[in-house]
Amino acid sequence: MNHAETALPAAPKAGLAFIFAVVLLDIIGLCMLFPVQAYIVRTYNTDALTVTLLSVVYAAAQFCAAPILGALSDRYGRRPVLLISMAGSALGYVLFGIGGALWVLFLSRLIDGITGGNLSTAQAYIADVSPHDARAKNFALLGVAFGLGFIIGPALGGVLSQVSLAAPAYMACVLSLLSVGAGWVVLPESLPAQQRTQGPLGWGELNPFAPLIGLVRRPELRALFGAHSIFNFVVMGYNTLAPVFLIERFGVSPLNIAGLLVVMGLMNILVQGALVGRLARRFGERPLALVSPLFQAAGGIATAVVPAFWMVYVTNSIASSGASPFRPALSAMMANQVAAEEQGKLNGVSMALASLMSVFGPLWAGAMYDYVAPGAPFWAGAALLVLASMMVARMPAAARRVPRATEA
């Protein structure tokens, strides 16, 4: 009996639309907290490291939970895992809104990080309901959801912060609960029972480090993975620390921070949607990946020294637009180094490394801010970004390209 005969009579378009909505609401909920998170934490502890630790807990929990949720969805279906994950996010958000103690805030982000690992389940759902020739197009929906979420979330969080600092968290909880209710009614299961994995969970499925080892050791990818990790390490440190820096330097409000995040999100979408493809065709991926970290480095230093907050809009816009080509350009360079059957593993390793840098980057930035100087993360980050650019420069101008099966 083939898969076509065993597949459930689910409506793929309805499932895809719902998965898009789930991911979009996840990102909106997460980003709604960005303008207010530092202010809420600072009512209990003003150390920059404490603020960044909140993001570290979320990222670490997400990194560890993603393979577990994926393995559970292989055994019990995508639908129950997605619904439970959304309910967990709702619980995390309402705890964050209630607060009352610093440990409650950390518990809320731990819960949301564990259930926020459902991106792997969402990707599996898309693979289930998509024909092979439509998977790339349908996976691109996740990128659109991320882009929109990083604009809508901070904007909505900034507006709601005018009501109260807890209002964005409560609204994120409401959105998650609405997703659970809608999913219970309309979300079909995408993985038939006869296609599910049988038997107990194995250690290899639960270990988030297992897929990293093989690819990271390969010499043709080592420098690219190094540049990828350094870039994400610095940028995640910048992004988590920036609200603390701007609050203490310029006395900005949550609405100011929300506006800054919205402008950065718009610049990213503009550059990646309209310019990256043209620039890559004209100059190639390697020059884009080489220059982009330098833009980010210059923007970080400029942010550390400008005398007025309005100038940060200019410096961050230049840094965001200049650095936007880095990830797609580097991803293309890495994809050209592996065969078609390794592309999924490559993407998984890239995501895992980015998650790890979301743990270590904020820790480093917070410690540098508290124990060295407020401007230290920006200056040290600039030096690290120059190193990332040098790693890209180590790749030959015409990097080896592994042909696809149809080209062989």
Note the pLDDT of residue 6.
Answer: 38
Checking if the pLDDT of 369 tops 50, the result is: yes
Q: How far is it, in rounded angstroms, from Cα 216 to Cα 213? A: 6
The set of residues, in sequence order, having a beta carbon less than 8 Å from that of 103 and lying 6+ positions away, is none
- Tens digits of residue pLDDT in 279-337: 877 888 888 889 999 999 999 999 999 999 999 999 988 888 888 888 878 877 887 77
Checking if the pLDDT of 9 tops 50, the result is: no
- The 10 Å Cβ neighbour count of residue 318 is 16
Percentage of the chain exceeding pLDDT 90: 25
- Tens digits of residue pLDDT in 138-180: 665 676 777 788 889 999 998 999 999 999 999 999 988 988 8
**With a threshold of 0.85, does the pTM exceed it?**
no
Q: Cβ(147)–Cβ(264) under 8 Å? A: no
